[in-house]
């Protein structure tokens, strides 16, 4: 039997130039599933990033290799669109999709996690001489510059070209901090010990957040010389308090797969994985 892709309607492009198209997965001409592809132009240096947003094989056609053939055909389409990298988000617990991704050579880059926060979450225990306070407007520009630098470095260290990492950073901060430190829902905290800055926390309450969360930890940072002292845990407990104080209950975050200390911390605090983000070079 022959498995092919048949386009459903014309290609689409959004305001950012992202190209997408939907397909029917066909077996000998009959429908057997559906596929949705997209290509995001990351810039001249970075090329184009392809994404499989949806790949569904109808129940009667599963376990016959249809998904594998469709995924390989999707890679060919994306290569034809100039994509050099494939990114796929996998829902946690989707064993068939995870098995297919592994078979195709996709590897985990990061994961999205959430935690249900109880009402009345309390403030964290802090070491002697430590204080958690609001970030001042005067501190914000330096914090933002360092935050952007860390963001770009985190992605380039994991193989993303510098131009693509910078584009992601600029897009994220423009969208999430459109009004700077007074952007609605933005909570910025500084952790000081003995008058010296030892860490910072960025939480956003409300708005359109990933994974259905109503509060989100976008950044938690502990100064290099202060790591291993439980300050990261204290900042995460503060994030829970911020979430609960706003009357919210589902706190989310994103963590890279190779950040073992952070993964262990989030696991110990009761976060659960809701999605695994995978990647593969295809060009």
- Beta pairing partners, 36: 22, 54
Domain(s) of CATH 3.40.630.30: residues in the chain:
3-105, 115-276
DSSP string, 4-39: EEEEEEEEEE-TT--EEEEEEEEETTEEEEEEEEEE
State the chain's mean pLDDT as an integer. Answer: 93
Q: φ, ψ for residue 71 (rounded to 5)?
A: -65, -40
- According to CATH, the topology of domain 115-276 is Aminopeptidase (3.40.630)
Could you report the per-residue pLDDT of 106-160, keeping only the tens digit for each? Answer: 999 999 999 999 998 888 888 888 899 999 999 999 999 999 999 999 999 988 8
Residue 47 confidence (pLDDT): 64
Residue 43 confidence (pLDDT): 55
Percent of the chain past pLDDT 70, that is, above it, reads 98
Residue 204 confidence (pLDDT): 97
Q: φ, ψ for residue 282 (rounded to 5)?
A: -125, 0
pTM of the model: 0.90
Beta strands in the chain (DSSP E): 3-13, 19-27, 30-43, 47-57, 83-91, 107-116, 130-134, 186-193, 196-205, 215-222, 250-256, 272-281
Tokens of 192: 């000081």
The mean-pLDDT minimum among 46-50, 137-141, 167-171 falls in 46-50
CA distances from 214 to 38, 117, 158, 244 (A): 27, 11, 29, 10
**Alpha carbon distance, N-terminus to C-terminus of the chain:** 28
For range 6-21, the mean pLDDT: 91
Domain 3-105, CATH = 3.40.630.30
Whether pLDDT at 165 is above 90: no
Could you report the per-residue pLDDT of 16-42, keeping only the tens digit for each? Answer: 788 999 999 999 989 999 999 999 876
Angle between helices 95-103 and 66-80 (to 10 degrees): 60
Q: Are 92 and 278 in contact (CB under 8 A)?
A: no
Could you report the per-residue pLDDT of 177-226, keeping only the tens digit for each? Answer: 999 999 999 999 999 998 889 999 999 999 999 999 999 999 999 998 88
């Amino acid at each position: 039997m022959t498995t092919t892709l048949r386009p459903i309607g014309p290609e689409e492009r959004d305001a950012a130039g992202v190209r997408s198209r939907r397909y029917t997965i066909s077996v000998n001409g009959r429908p057997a599933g559906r596929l949705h592809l997209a290509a995001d132009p990351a810039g001249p240096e970075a090329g184009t990033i392809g994404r499989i947003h949806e790949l569904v094989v109808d129940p009667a056609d599963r376990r016959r290799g249809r998904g594998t053939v469709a995924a390989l055909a999707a890679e060919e389409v994306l290569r034809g669109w100039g994509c050099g990298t494939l990114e796929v988000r996998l829902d946690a617990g989707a064993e068939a999709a995870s098995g297919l991704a592994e078979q195709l050579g996709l590897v985990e880059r990061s994961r999205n996690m959430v935690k249900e926060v109880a009402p009345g979450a309390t403030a964290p225990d802090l070491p002697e001489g430590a204080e958690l306070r609001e970030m001042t407007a005067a501190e914000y520009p330096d914090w933002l510059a360092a935050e952007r630098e860390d963001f770009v470095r985190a992605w380039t260290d994991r193989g993303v070209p510098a131009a693509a990492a910078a584009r992601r950073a600029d897009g994220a901060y423009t969208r999430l901090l459109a009004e700077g430190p007074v952007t609605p829902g933005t909570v910025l905290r500084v952790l000081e010990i003995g008058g010296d800055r030892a860490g910072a926390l960025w939480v956003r309450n409300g708005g359109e957040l990933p994974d259905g969360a109503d509060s989100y930890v976008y950044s938690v940072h502990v100064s290099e010389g202060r790591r291993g002292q439980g300050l990261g845990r204290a900042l995460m407990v503060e994030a829970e308090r911020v979430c609960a104080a706003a009357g919210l209950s589902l706190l989310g975050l994103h963590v890279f797969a190779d950040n073992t200390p952070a993964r262990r911390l989030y696991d110990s605090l009761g976060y659960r994985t809701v999605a695994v983000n995978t990647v593969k070079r295809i060009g």
